[in-house]
Amino acid sequence: MSNTTMPIHLRIDHVTIAGPELAPLEQAFADMGLTTDYGGPHSNKITHMALLGLVDGSYIELISSVVEGGQEAHAFWGEHIAAGGGPCAWAVRADDVAAEAARVAALGIRAEGPVYYSRRRPDHAVVEWDMAFLGDLGAGAILPFIIKDITPREVRVKPSASVADGLLTRVNTVILAVDTLQPAIELFQRLYHWPAPQLKDDVAFGARLAAFQDTPVVLAAPLAGQPWLSERLARFGPSPCTFLIGAANFEAAVERYKLVEERAWFDRRLAWFDPARMGGYRLGVVGF
């Protein structure tokens, strides 16, 4: 990352999907042909995770509470975990967590970190990383949290066997639910020097969208008469509402994963894993 006024490129490290129990999340992914790898408990002693590692090194994290009695409320994304909120956070890589946190803080945006975290894999290997949290809405809610490995990256994530053939290539897009577009647009432009986004109403998605070209970010504000996004915002606040995975061969991905609702998405093709089989939330695939 840079301190210039040139547009700052973000590289997605991972995105997170939460639920009250990990096994049903893992099973839903496996039923879709996306078998995940168990990653072990976090150092907070509250949550544990599984992951779907993609070939570019990004991954989808499935997270839940490992304890009972409401302790998930003390974890990141506790409301999403308790209520089965699904998409809840996103993270981007940084070469220097402290420097990026300082850059953001100098813009008058809250930045906390670096903060050390770890988890212990089932083979007892310890995975270690530093993070920093940006903004006031929670870890990876609207602004991403930033992360850098301490242990070698391959200790934290490798391509999962179920997707190692590379048909699904990377976590491509984070769609962020916001109450209104303009303040969020201005926040991203201020922080990352991005040009004005492309705007469109997407009735099928139930939102007015703002897509920043050549970035992984799309903002989504509810359209009148389309309640799902308004209801989600009322329950969980501004935060990710869905993620899109890039496909090397879109038609092959549609066929293999029995994707539904295929259509145009800005300058790309989009289709969805069947929401009824994914716990009610949406996970999409985009082609190029």
- The 8 Å CB, 24+ separation contacts for 209-218 are 209/175, 210/181, 210/184, 210/185, 211/266, 212/188, 214/7, 215/9, 215/10, 216/10, 216/12, 216/171, 216/172, 216/173, 216/174, 217/10, 217/173, 217/174, 217/176, 217/188, 218/173, 218/174, 218/175, 218/176
| pLDDT score at 4 | 54
Q: Is 166-287 the same fold as 12-156?
A: yes
Q: How confident is the model at residue 280 (pLDDT cuts 50, 70, 90)?
A: confident
Instruction: With a cut of 60, say whether residue 74 has pLDDT above it.
Output: no
Beta-carbon-side half-sphere exposure of residue 192 (alpha carbons within 13 Å): 23
| Whole-number Å distance between alpha carbons of 264 and 60 | 24
Annotated domain spans of the chain:
12-156, 166-287
Residue 88 sits at the vertex; the CA angle it makes with 203 and 228, to the nearest 5 degrees, is 30
pTM of the shown model: 0.95
Mean model confidence pLDDT for the chain: 93
If phi > 0 it is left, if psi is from -120 to 50 it is alpha, else beta; for residue 70 that is left
| pLDDT score at 113 | 93
Determine the topology of domain 166-287 in CATH: 2,3-Dihydroxybiphenyl 1,2-Dioxygenase; domain 1 (3.10.180)
Architecture of domain 12-156: Roll (3.10)
Look-up of token digits 């009824």: 276
Instruction: With a cut of 90, say whether residue 3 has pLDDT above it.
Output: no
